[in-house]
Amino acid sequence: MKYNILVCDDEKDIVSAIEIYLVAEGYNVFKAYDGLEALEILDKEEIHLVLMDLMMPNMDGISTILKIREDKNIPIIILSAKSEITDKIIGLNIGADDYIVKPFNAIELVARVNSTLRRYMSLGSADIDKNQYAVGRVVVNDTAKEVLVDSVAVSLTPYEYKILLLLIRNKGRVFSSDEIYENVWEEEAHDVKKVISVHISHLRDKIEINPRKPDLIKSVYGMGYKIEDK
């Protein structure tokens, strides 16, 4: 199966260069030059991953990602010239899965796309793990890749799902931010505390009764996070 990747950037030279790298890797590439064009393509085509610039005319990347996340959980990788950690956190807060700073290395870009797609598509595989895990009012069915809270299905992004699965499979064990990152992203961790904190916050918003006073995903001061074995 050939995967479809949407590349959205107002700099046509960058889009053309990315297209060359991704086509050589065996992907189908759809091109957009602002957020409105991207949303039109997403409505018509089955897109498996989005590469999204932030600063664009007509409709910027932030507004576009927010719109995509209203009904889609496909992976989104931000492309931006902004390298500050605050911009990365904003990107994650609005629903992006990863962040690549311009100018980027073509090999790194392709590797990030490959690994992100591999993790995302594996969530649909029924024979990875046939177990079901439960704690309190939360049930994770890893065969169906389904999360139920009080018997109601909730929608998680791929990374949120993988973090929850890691913690619920190891109830009572404390994982540091670095350990969570290395298990879920399958990469060496560097300065990832804020990144993990953002994802944990999103998870709590979706599964906790009161995210500000979580009773499932607990923070262990100075050490990391755990799900208590109830």
pLDDT digits (tens, 9 = 90+) for 188-213: 888 899 999 999 999 999 999 899 99
Same domain for 187 and 207?
Answer: yes
Residue 52 has pLDDT above 90, yes or no: yes
Give alpha helix (H) positions in the chain. 12-24, 35-44, 61-68, 85-93, 106-122, 158-169, 177-184, 193-207
Same domain for 101 and 8?
Answer: yes
Domain boundary among 98, 122, 146: 122
Res. 39 pLDDT band, cuts 50 70 90: very high
Which pLDDT does position 230 carry in this prediction? Answer: 59
Domain boundary among 73, 93, 122: 122
Q: What secondary structure letter does DSSP report for 2?
A: P
Res. 125 pLDDT band, cuts 50 70 90: very low
Which pLDDT does position 83 carry in this prediction? Answer: 64
| Number of Cβ atoms within 10 Å of the Cβ of 59 | 16
| Number of domains the chain is built from | 2
pLDDT digits (tens, 9 = 90+) for 18-36: 999 999 999 999 999 999 9
Domain boundary among 74, 98, 122: 122
In a domain, 127, yes or no: no
In a domain, 81, yes or no: yes
Same domain for 22 and 61?
Answer: yes
In a domain, 56, yes or no: yes
Which pLDDT does position 123 carry in this prediction? Answer: 55
Same domain for 115 and 158?
Answer: no
In a domain, 108, yes or no: yes
Q: Mean pLDDT across the stretch 42-56?
A: 93
Q: Mean pLDDT across the stretch 170-174?
A: 91
pLDDT digits (tens, 9 = 90+) for 53-91: 988 889 988 899 999 988 888 899 998 876 666 666 777
Which pLDDT does position 127 carry in this prediction? Answer: 37
Residue 186 has pLDDT above 70, yes or no: yes
CATH at residue 183: 1.10.10.10
Range with the poorest average pLDDT among 15-29, 115-129, 158-172: 115-129
d(CA 77, CA 91): 9
Strand, helix or coil for residue 162: helix
Which pLDDT does position 115 carry in this prediction? Answer: 83
Expressed as residue numbers, the domain containing 199 is 132-227
Strand, helix or coil for residue 100: strand
Which pLDDT does position 81 carry in this prediction? Answer: 77
What end-to-end distance do the CA atoms of the chain give, in Å?
Answer: 42
